[in-house]
Amino acid sequence: MILRELAQTFLICAGALLTIILIGKGIQARDLFLGLDLSATDTLLLFLFLVPTFLTLILPISCMISVFLTFLRMSSDRELTALRAGGVSAYQLLSAPAMFSLLCMGLAFLVSMHGIAWGMGKFRSTVMDIAHTRAKVSLQPGVFNQNLLGLTLFARRVDPDSGRLFGVLFEDKTQPEHSSTTILAPTGEIVTDAERGEIIFNLENGRLYRVEQDEVSIILFENYSIRLHLNKLFEGMDMGDIRPKEMSLADLRRFAKVEDGGSARFLRKVQVEIQKRWALPVACLTLGLFAFPLACSFEGARRQTGVVLSLFFFLLYYSIFSLGLTMGESGALSPLIGLWAGNILFALAAAGGVVLVARERLPAFFPLSRIFQGNRL
């Protein structure tokens, strides 16, 4: 019975928070979605691929709120008092939130270890495929296309299936050190680089005419690539090189073992991300157990008050977590200490709170409970 109420509250909280976050992300990335001219199906797919990234934060807070609200209702309705009078101890009552928190932690581990890399990989590849297709389709043969960030492209013939270009002219006025650059090539093609988030125009056996002041220089080439970064094409979405937070746990461990695998800051980010993948799922357990004595201490508080209190304590946890993350990336603190400090503190508070509840003594560190006494649901 308790597990069913916990699950119902959890699903409502997780659904509401996920909807709010996705709406905010959609507004932030509106230039990307509008620029790609996405269909409803493509938009839903992209949002689906983003879900695992947000779930790593949503699952701990939803677990905490569901445990807190469930036992707050039981405490206010005197159900906990009746159970204690029937010989049920606080430790026995703890089994339900502990089991539920473990289930949430297992789900969070699944998302953290596999879901994030899968979702971000699918998101990146889908965006690149759509951008590649749109780029091929939008290029009209025999027309000067001038909507490519200062580049003007003319192609006598375009094969939309293969992306091959014939009779290509490029004019580039984006380089400040040159007044203009014109490129002529008999053939070329459009390809994408998903890892770097770029659309690439590869030109073959052409000539490059560069005008500098009053001089014109001509360069012959066999292959010449013009790269258009999606960060420039679509503001509000970082489509650069694959970052540690998009990698799988196996890739993160591989980079962490390679001493010359990148800059010191990049390696610190990899180490921080590894600890983050473990610490956030464990937060489901620590925050879920912490919510049990917290709910018992605020007997009589309204449900709206319970939500506010849960959010307050989660923000406190997340502030500690964010501080440890920032200090870990800067090298001021070990990621192992910084990202696990919040879990350790809340686990100790949960253990102490459960002991005091078992002794039927309100935790001394929850004095606000007196303010909310007497308010019924």
CA–CA separation, 65 and 71 (whole Å): 10
Contacts within 8 Å (CB) and 24+ apart, 171-174: 172/226, 174/149, 174/150
* Domain edge (last residue) among 233, 259, 282: 233
128 shares its domain with 275:
yes
Long-range contacts of 323-329 (CB under 8 A, 24+ apart): 325/272, 325/276, 328/268, 328/271, 328/272, 328/275, 329/265, 329/268, 329/269, 329/272
The length of the chain, given as a count of residues: 377
User: Both 161 and 81 in a single domain?
Assistant: no
Please check whether residue 377 lies inside any domain of the structure.
Answer: no
Evaluate whether residue 38 is within a structural domain: yes
> Same structural domain for residues 167 and 223?
yes
Last residue of a domain, one of 182, 208, 233: 233
Same domain flag for 258 and 125: yes
The residue from 203, 233, 263 where one domain ends is 233
* Same domain, yes or no: 292 and 157: no
Domain count, the chain: 2
Domain membership of residue 149 (yes or no) is yes
291 and 362 together in one domain? yes
The two structure tokens encoding residue 183: 């490129």
pLDDT at 150: 56
d(CA 220, CA 92): 81
Per-residue confidence in pLDDT tens, the chain, 377 aa:
788 999 999 999 999 999 999 888 777 666 556 655 667 787 888 889 989 999 999 999 999 999 999 988 887 777 877 887 788 888 888 899 999 999 999 999 999 999 998 998 888 788 777 766 665 555 667 777 665 555 778 888 887 677 788 888 888 766 655 567 888 999 988 877 766 667 788 899 998 888 776 777 888 888 888 877 665 555 445 555 678 888 888 888 888 776 545 578 888 889 999 999 999 999 999 999 999 988 887 766 677 777 788 889 999 999 999 999 999 989 899 999 999 999 999 999 999 988 888 887 754 444 444 444 444 43
DSSP, collapsed to helix, strand or coil, labels residue 168 as strand
In a domain, 240, yes or no: no
CA atoms of 124 and 134, how far apart (whole Å): 15
- Give me the helix-helix angle, 264-297 and 95-110, nearest 10°: 160
Same domain? 267 vs 301: yes
Instruction: Give the pLDDT of residue 368.
Output: 46
Check whether residue 212 and residue 152 sit in a common domain. yes
Q: Is the pTM of this model over 0.95?
A: no
* CA-closest candidate to residue 74, choices 54, 52, 90, 51: 90
Please provide residue 267's backbone torsions phi and psi, each rounded to the nearest 5 degrees.
Answer: -65, -35
226 and 107, same structural domain?
no
Does 51 fall in a domain? yes
Q: Please indicate, yes or no, whether residues 300 and 173 belong to a single structural domain of this protein.
A: no
229 torsion bin: left (phi>0), alpha (psi -120 to 50), beta (else): beta
Spell out the residues 6+ positions from residue 141 whose beta carbon is closer than 8 angstroms to its own.
155, 156, 157, 158
Residues 258 and 355 in one domain: yes
pLDDT at 234: 52
- Number of Cβ atoms within 10 Å of the Cβ of 308: 12
Give the structural domain span for 185: 140-233
Provide the angle, in degrees to the nearest 10, between the axes of the packed helices 40-76 and 303-330. 120
Is residue 203 a part of any domain in this protein? Answer: yes
Q: Is residue 274 part of a domain?
A: yes
Q: Could you tell me if 249 and 351 lie in one domain?
A: yes
Q: What pLDDT shows up at residue 181? A: 81
Report if residue 151 sits inside a domain: yes
CA distance 15 to 58: 9
What six digits make up the tokens of 44?
A: 């839903």
